[in-house]
Structure 1
């Protein structure tokens, strides 16, 4: 008897319960940028200073490039090292949602800027040394690294490098500005939280199968990568945020999320003075809003209903 080289996926026989839980989590929180009325934030946008608008645009430009990398390479390069068929199905979902994330920034740009401004944003992004460095550094690992190195790089990108850009909309949300822009970012953060946790879990399975010498070698490699990316991220933060005086606060937020990335990979936090209590409380308030769930296994937040997000009126700010 001749058999084909294909095996039908059976979701009734699960090898790893985390695969099924992650699939259900990601599909239950599906969303699209077109269902959020970003143009309702135009009044807030027009009241920002030119410097503040520049910060927002640059932050989102950098995020667009990183999400483009994730949608084109990130989940794709993990396929060769999957442990189960269900893991590959989860990666398919992650790959698609990274494309949704990348597109979402264009929705924000076209809602708030004219075409010439948008062209300037993408020119800056595609030619910025710091943005290009982190993309090239991560992609080099995606193309040439081991399976576990690729997972480290992806978790660092998802749980750490994105957050210098996320700081901006969370700050404005905490100050009751740009709520619809922030709603998109909260939804992206919700996805990235699951992506980083899931790939970190898969990393830990493989890491725990290594002997002590192999673990030590990989751990040293990981910290070398972390320090290199952090040096670049600090410089990038100054490039973007010095003009509005936020750089020190953003650096604390970046270090806080680098510690979260390490925890996703199963390691202790490394950077001191970078706990949730050290982060600007306005930003932590934004990231902790009830429409966003930052924990892995919770259900979709009851505060989020697709298509029913509305811009806030001035009266809503009177407490």
Structure 2
């Protein structure tokens, strides 16, 4: 039976400042960054905070002129992909806030608050882009995509189920599952969409939009790192959930998500010049392997350990990767990602 979580009180002075557990523990609510249970979380905080930007800072002048010159296929993909990104990023603000509500550790609350704020700006940026290049009616229809497009609805079905399960029944088990899907969103689900905008940019089209997407992509890489770190630390604190059944559940979600992302990429990018869909499939599988390693699991696509779309690296920062197999050995001590060597490309 999974431990039910309760919303954490704002202040409980009888408890220690340093939390006794990430979830379901005790803490006063007073945050002293020099006295936290996971000191390296401070580095995550600093890296995420360093990424502050606003959509209104991006110059859309040339994009306004270029959008009408895009092919019908490019315009259609542009609007559908913005609809996809808005569908995924909108709930990310909420899920970050909900995780924070049940986190005992005040450093986690603080970091998740920053993540929630950045996700809110991501969502705003999509509205900003659309308001710059198209009509209000097209903007509304683009944001309706996540509610009415059958392919997108099926693609997002499990996300809806897992996030709502955590919202209705917050437990250690459901928060772990929600973090798996947050990792999938941050590290996999956006990437065929990102590739579309980067492909436009390498052909000198919609460079302002691509610049904004690269800012979002950079944020998501840092969010994915922290969420993976939080997942692994939570699992290490609650080893009873480190079971073969749960491990297989995670692998199944990744396989399913890869299938859905590939299906979506074929659906939305099939008529786009410059995008090789076979190459895209390999890239999606490569991204899945990367995110699995961050979660402490093994590659499931052994033939896709290298990035087949290296041109994408020009548009977003690289970041460190990790591989820790404590799923495979329950007794394996938790190791923070910053203690692990190795450099992994985008």
TM-score normalised by L of structure 1: 0.82
* 1:15 is aligned to 2:37: yes
Match of 1:265 in 2: 295
Q: 2:176 pairs with 133, 137, 148, which one?
A: 148
Identify the structure with the greater helix proportion: 1
SS at match of 2:257: helix
Kept in 2, the 8 Å contact 1:38–1:180? The answer is yes
Match of 2:131 in 1: 110
Q: Which has the higher contact order (CA 8 A, sep 6+)?
A: 1
Counterparts of 1:82 and 1:122 in 2: how far apart (Å)? 31
**Which runs of 5 or more residues in structure 2 are unaligned?**
1-11, 16-27, 167-172, 322-336, 339-346
SS at match of 2:243: helix
Kept in 2, the 8 Å contact 1:201–1:264? The answer is yes
Kept in 1, the 8 Å contact 2:84–2:145? The answer is no
Give, in angstroms, the shift of residue 295 of structure 1.
Answer: 4.4
Counterparts of 2:226 and 2:241 in 1: how far apart (Å)? 25
Counterparts of 2:241 and 2:161 in 1: how far apart (Å)? 24
Quick one: structure 1 residues 199 and 277, their matched pair in 2 at CA, closer, same or farther if it must change by over 3 Å?
closer
Counterparts of 1:189 and 1:21 in 2: how far apart (Å)? 19
Kept in 2, the 8 Å contact 1:174–1:285? The answer is no
* 1:223 is aligned to 2:245: no
Kept in 2, the 8 Å contact 1:164–1:254? The answer is yes
Map residues 1-319 of structure 1 onto 2, 5 A cutoff.
7-72=29-94, 74-79=95-100, 82=103, 84-145=105-166, 146=173, 147-209=175-237, 211=239, 214-244=242-272, 246=275, 247-279=277-309, 281-287=310-316, 292=317, 294-295=319-320
SS at match of 1:274: coil
**255-264 or 79-88, which moves further after superposition?**
79-88
Counterparts of 1:271 and 1:34 in 2: how far apart (Å)? 40
Give, in angstroms, the shift of residue 194 of structure 1.
Answer: 0.8
SS at match of 1:278: coil
How many residues get paired? Answer: 291
SS at match of 2:139: helix
Counterparts of 1:7 and 1:233 in 2: how far apart (Å)? 40
Give, in angstroms, the shift of residue 3 of structure 1.
Answer: 5.7
**26-35 or 138-147, which moves further after superposition?**
138-147
1:232-282 alpha-carbon deviations (Å, 9 max, x no partner): 222212211122263333322222211221122122222244344422x33
Kept in 2, the 8 Å contact 1:197–1:264? The answer is yes
Counterparts of 2:232 and 2:13 in 1: how far apart (Å)? 34
SS at match of 1:243: coil
Give, in angstroms, the shift of residue 65 of structure 1.
Answer: 0.7
**Which runs of 5 or more residues in structure 1 are unaligned?**
299-319
**208-217 or 86-95, which moves further after superposition?**
208-217
TM-score normalised by L of structure 2: 0.76
Give, in angstroms, the shift of residue 34 of structure 1.
Answer: 0.5
Give, in angstroms, the shift of residue 14 of structure 1.
Answer: 2.7
Quick one: structure 1 residues 16 and 142, their matched pair in 2 at CA, closer, same or farther if it must change by over 3 Å?
same
Counterparts of 1:45 and 1:263 in 2: how far apart (Å)? 39
Quick one: structure 1 residues 23 and 3, their matched pair in 2 at CA, closer, same or farther if it must change by over 3 Å?
closer
Quick one: structure 1 residues 7 and 82, their matched pair in 2 at CA, closer, same or farther if it must change by over 3 Å?
closer
